[in-house]
A and B are shown apart, each in its own frame.
Chain A
Amino acid sequence: MFNQSHTLSNILTMTQRNLLKTLHDPDNFSDVLMEPVLFTLLFGYLFGGAIAGSVHAYLPLLVPGILIQSILNAASGSGQQLREDINHGVFDRFKTLPIAAIVPLAGQLLGDVLRLLLAGIMALLTALVMGWRPTVSLPMLAAALLLAIFIGWSASWLFALVGLMAKNAELIGSLSMMIILTLTFLSNAFVPVKTLPSFLQVIVQANPVSYTVTALRTLLTTGIWGLHATVALLCGISMIAIFMPLSLLAYQKRA
């Protein structure tokens, strides 16, 4: 009953809407521009000496972790953005249009990829300024960035679900923050896993962010697409497979 090509072009129209909206108000980018810089500087200079002996020695360990954290932070904005739009009433209008229900959600999240890209680039640039030097070719660097963005985008469906379930934007902000902190700190993103108590090691090793960070480290130091990268990719696909239908359901039922 739904014409697939119409749905696709409608999603592109809705993506365009989101981009126009963001570009009209560049303040929307201030968080994704500032947070990666701040966190890269903070983590690098605070923990570098304690964890790796020096800031310079910590950077290769830190960069993959801070890259995925910055991108997850940027992805969490999608949930709040959805809620604001819904509260404002424009989504009610979308709902009365003869378009597939996925269109407004997918359009929002696809448009937000630009935010993820900016956050990733800012994190890498800050690390460069601090003295980090990639040892791999530019295409490999780009592959690492793309993998991180894909994982961030898969997670944005989880943040969208939070945004659709919670009615209040502040609650969404703090829930998203808890999710990000749990996912990134209970992983190998910032600390060596072997320093953790054994029960935590089990949790950390099951965390998709750990796979992503390991995959990014391998990509950024050796330029090899390893098993971890494939596992991370599958984790991302699974997250989409779980949270996209749930978000759609929440959107149709509650919003």
Chain B
Amino acid sequence: MTNPNMIQVNHISKHFGNHAAVQDVSFNVHQGEIFGLLGPNGAGKTTLIKMMTTLLRPDQGQILLNGFDTQTQSRLAKQQFSVTGQTAAIDQDLTATENLMIFGQLSGLTHRAARRRATELLAAFDLVASAHQTLATFSGGMRRRLDLAVSLVGKPKLLFLDEPTTGLDPRTRDQMWRVIKDMVASGSTVLLTTQYLEEAAQFADRIALIDHGKLQAIGTPAELGQRVGGKQLRLQVTAAKMLAEAQRILQAAIKQPIQVGQRSLTVALADDQLPVCAGLLDQLAAAKIGVSQFAITSPSLDEVFFKLTVGKN
């Protein structure tokens, strides 16, 4: 059975005592997508993941995984996914192979099939040399790799990754991302949380921004960027005394409020105003204004994040 929406979250709420951890959140995750869940600490991301992975029951609402209801068809829903990261751990006292074997067998593989799959994954995750060591001897990156490998034992259609790259060095992070992209290329769907905004912007197809238990925004990284005002032109002059003249020229060309810095000017730029910029450079040169920087920037996800979320403080 295939479903265009791998995850359907419909009007989910969850309260802990008086605290509303998640309030009326709805979104869909499409088949084959990398979907990022972003939000400040305490925004409700982990609560949401726990509800999607059947570890918590929502107070209200419904979650369908590949069409199966997490509450009324939990066993079928559980066959669709696997979860890794903060919310679910692996055995510290077992070796890498044993962990893979145990979870393989629990996922329904025979002993022989589990062994074959374990060998395959150890090779794929560069863990062959440590196959028979317990996790006590593993580095953080090796653990994370094994954790992900264990999640892939049953070849899940859907993978939940709770902060898969937090605390990893850039090389290991890169390796994790390669694995995740390979998975998606082979047909899996991935929902992940991350604190690294640029990472989400780079790899996620779509992003949902959560704050105070509510969905603040959802869309592609580019769409979210537009929500905070689109492109900007930033220009910096070589000496502060030229700033006033530069501001006058800029204001004449672009009729938007200008933010004035010590030696810099920033102004919002509509897409159809891009050709104006070329003429602007000529005008500045004619006025003998030295320009040390002239940049058209798209808003970063950081700005989106700061604009749309408040966090606990």
Contact = CB atoms under 8 A, between A and B. Distances in A.
Interface of A: 1-2, 6, 9-10, 13-14, 16-17, 20-21, 24-25, 88-90, 92-99, 103
Nearest to B147: A93
23 contacts: A2-B75, A9-B105, A10-B105, A13-B106, A17-B98, A17-B102, A20-B93, A20-B102, A21-B91, A21-B93, A21-B94, A89-B86, A90-B89, A90-B91, A92-B89, A93-B90, A93-B103, A95-B54, A95-B55, A96-B53, A96-B81, A97-B107, A98-B78
A148 to B, nearest CB: 28
A24 B134 contact: yes
Given A24-B94, A24-B134, A96 B82 contact: yes
B88 A96 contact: yes
A89 B162 CA distance: 13
Nearest to B108: A6
A145 B33 CA distance: 58
B87 interface: yes
Nearest to A104: B106
Interface in B35-80: 53-55, 75-76, 78-79
A246 B271 CA distance: 65
A13 B54 CA distance: 22
B94 A93 contact: no
Contacts of A90: 88-91
Contacts of A13: 102, 105-106
B263 to A, nearest CB: 52
B106 A99 contact: yes
A20 B55 CA distance: 26
Contact of A97 (B86, B91, B95, B106): B106
A96 B78 CA distance: 6
Contacts of B94: 17, 20-21, 24
Contacts of A95: 54-55
B78 A10 contact: no
B87 A92 contact: yes
A92 to B, nearest CB: 4
Contacts of A94: 106
